[in-house]
Structure 1
């Protein structure tokens, strides 16, 4: 297979800068991988690379500066600034805010100290060393304690209320009126 003449031709073609596939085609009866293996065993290097035109990259458009990343404090949500709501709605919102309290401090758990009985509510930024989990005793059937389950799960509205709320939202959007 590799006669002295074929090896000499291989060396010449390789030195001329031909690719392994091109050399294999010229020699005939050998594969590209056979050429690569033989070149390696012969210790050939110092190839002449053919002159290729410089690769022209398309002009890049300037990007707008990226916005800064937000830290994840349990669950941070960005919303548009709220418009002033009527007084009766503000009172209802304040009543709900009282219900949505922050649970009392508890034993903080790390990934290594979590068990099947501890609350797995993440607290802080997962990328920071202060990141931890709630660690309080959890409710059965939920990965969270009672306090965090109230935050994580919303009760299902009766169908009639859901449909009514959707209809109101649709009418509000169509009329252009907003609170």
Structure 2
């Protein structure tokens, strides 16, 4: 759909009246996702299913209880008991080589395990396969 000035003004009016994205889409003969996308690009948003202007959202968020800042997740590398001599460069991998990455991809000594793969179409050798497909810990199963 092409959003000309007339359509945009009608969209804003419908939105201010509290019409749903589905109802607006039916008026324009387009999809609900197209309407929602245009509303987002115009700086309009939803709050619990009701239309909300971005300016109103800033006011409502300032009255809310502040949330602590999110910390970036820490990625821990699992130690791999592979000798450095077994590291294989990407260009040296064969169809039967284990493709388990070893080291930091940005460093010069980055490589792959290179050991013979497990039988079948698995990309890893038996020892790397145990790392890649580790079962979920019992404590994690109870939480979910």
Question: TM-score, length-normalised on structure 2?
Answer: 0.38
Greater RCO, CA 8 A, separation 6+: 1
Give the structure with higher Rg (CA).
1
